[in-house]
Amino acid sequence: MTKKEYIYHLKNRLRNLPIDEVESAVDYVSELFDEAGEENAEEVARDLGSPAKFAAQIRAEYAINQHCLPEDTTTVYREKPKSNNGWKTLALILLGIAALPVGLPLVLVLAVLIFVAVVVGVCLLFALGCVLLAGFIAVCSLVYAGFKMLTVSLASGLMSIGLGLIGISGVVLIATAAIYLFIKLKPIVINGFANLYNRLKGDKEHVDE
Amino acid sequence: MVFQLGSALLDACVLAILQKEDAYGYKLTQEAKKVMNVSESTLYPVLRRLMKEGYLETYDQEYQGRNRRYYRLTDSGRVKCQYYLAEWDLFSKNVDSILKGGNEND
């Protein structure tokens, strides 16, 4: 692959990143090709690996830096994260892991695990939602029944209303706790994958593309 | 190369290479490849991250009509390099004592 072709493909794969990230990568690659000389272009391209894989690594590192950069470093380059809800970060990290030369079996295993986790997660969420809804309906009807009972027996009616209201607040509390847990867990999961990526990328054999 | 270079060791090596003298991208990767079996595509994200973390800075210099991007350590980069060197001393001594066994002084 020539320098021009390589940079074209690389830019194509990086088009969703900020302009300075793309330029920095292009400058880096340009310099490598220029210094090696035109006659060695093939070797440079081979050493770099395919533009697609290189781009995946760049995107993954970018996503990790955006997400996990510690607050107390005196960095000049820290950019404000865009409206990133974390899922995009996770997707980029997973792409980066897939780009590493760790072999197809591992990628397949990871893919299956992730799929299963997603299915289980969705089912659990759905189940939780149903339970909460059922509970909510139950306690609301308790309050309603309580009001109806007021005319018959004031004490029973009030107790029913009271219990119902306690029940409603209980349901709301559980729902809030579930949402809070979910928000807290997400960065932990993403950090876990980021660490996996960092652990895997270490040493690289030359891959003949 | 039998042993994997973890991400921290990659950082350490890059910082150590630059501690000796500033280097432009191509030269840096050539130096790195002498001692580690890494590709340029592995090194680029390392350089980028070290820069974002404030350990490296870059400057450009013209050479034969081309532009060379030089990397150099910042003050915090120098500190980090020392830190890594100390950690490596400790680590390599421990590994040595296990792998080579024999002369246990403690």
Topology (CATH) of B7-99: Arc Repressor Mutant, subunit A (1.10.10)
Q: What's CA A138's distance to the chain center, in Å? A: 36
Q: Is B5 on the interface with A (CB under 8 A)?
A: yes
Is A202 domain-assigned? no
> What DSSP assignment string belongs to B81-98?
HHHHHHHHHHHHHHHHHH
Is A182 domain-assigned? yes
State the Cα–Cα distance between residues A127 and A133, nearest whole angstrom. Answer: 10
Among A53, A74, A204, whose Cβ lies nearest the Cβ of B54?
A74
Q: Which chain A residues have a beta carbon less than 8 Å from that of B9? A: 202
Is A198 domain-assigned? no
* Digit-coded pLDDT (tens) for A184-209: 887 787 777 777 777 776 544 433 33
Is A184 domain-assigned? yes
pLDDT winner (highest mean) among A66-70, A80-84, A97-101, A142-146: A142-146
Domain residues for the domain of A160 are 117-189
Total structural domains within chain A: 2
Give me the mean pLDDT over the B35-58 stretch.
Answer: 90
pTM over 0.80: no
Q: Is B31 on the interface with A (CB under 8 A)?
A: no
* Digit-coded pLDDT (tens) for A4-36: 999 999 999 998 899 999 999 999 999 999 988
Q: What share of chain A is helix, strand, coil (3-state, %, to 5)?
A: 80, 0, 20
Same domain, A104 and A121: no
Whether A74 contacts B54, CB under 8 Å: yes
Same domain, A9 and A105: yes
Binary contact (A31, B66; C-beta < 8 A): yes
Same domain, A100 and A145: no
Is A64 domain-assigned? yes
* Digit-coded pLDDT (tens) for A97-143: 777 766 667 778 877 888 888 888 888 888 888 888 888 888 888 88
pLDDT band at B57 (very low <50, low <70, confident <90, very high): very high
Q: What is the pLDDT of residue B75?
A: 94
Binary contact (A65, B54; C-beta < 8 A): no
Q: Which chain A residues have a beta carbon less than 8 Å from that of B53? A: 69, 73, 75
Strands (E), chain A: none
The pair of three-digit structure tokens given for residue B16, joined into one six-digit string:
């150590």
